[in-house]
Amino acid sequence: MTNSGNDHRLLLGNRIPHEFFITKGSGESDITIHAGSFHLALCNAGIGMKNIVTYSSVLPAEARQIEMPEYLKQGDVMEAIMAAGHCRKGERITAGMAIGWLYERDTGVKFGGLVSEISGNYPVGEIEQKLNESMLEIYHHGYDDYRLGDLQMITETFVPHKQYGTALVALCFNSYIYPVLKGD
């Protein structure tokens, strides 16, 4: 493809997650997990109509939390950081997420954020303790030059009456910043 001089081009950098919302849900099914209880947990969380792509556990300084939008388009791709766990009838499943923000020690300027996700057969208090320990482990292995603050914990716990159960917590990205590196 050649540039005829009439078309304009932009060189964009990696997009930066900007706005996100947090949701959680649970679901149960007698049929299966993924097309059953997991999908129903997504529906219960209000994101069952999305195609979910999962992210690793870091947030840019530009990211900010918003309320979940009233309208989400069917079939859109939604990128998310997610804690999801599955269990069988009568077992407990708890999904949890901790979000913490990193700040420059000298200036207090926000550097970015960390997210920790855990799921398993834990009571809420135990999963919160594990989330805190996990967050501190991540922090002490690469981020302890910064101050960690504003810790937020979100949990969902559930005991299904049907054969399969899923509990999930999701941090869902809703908008992005596209840095322009170069234009014509």
Q: Is 36 exposed, middle or buried (0-12, 13-18, 19+ CB in 10 A)?
A: buried
Arch. (CATH architecture) of 15-179: 3-Layer(bba) Sandwich (3.50)
Q: What is the pLDDT of residues 52-96, one digit of tens each?
A: 999 999 999 999 999 999 989 999 999 999 999 999 999 999 999
Helix (H, G, I), strand (E, B) or coil at 137: helix
Query: Is residue 5 predicted with pLDDT exceeding 70?
Result: no
Q: If you write DSSP's letter for every residue of 90-116 in order, what string do you get?
A: T--EEEEEEEEEEEETTT--EEEEEEE
Q: What is the pLDDT of residues 102-118, one digit of tens each?
A: 999 999 999 999 999 99
- The answer to whether the beta carbons of residues 47 and 74 sit under 8 Å apart is no
Domain coordinates in residue numbering, the chain = 15-179
pLDDT of residue 152: 98
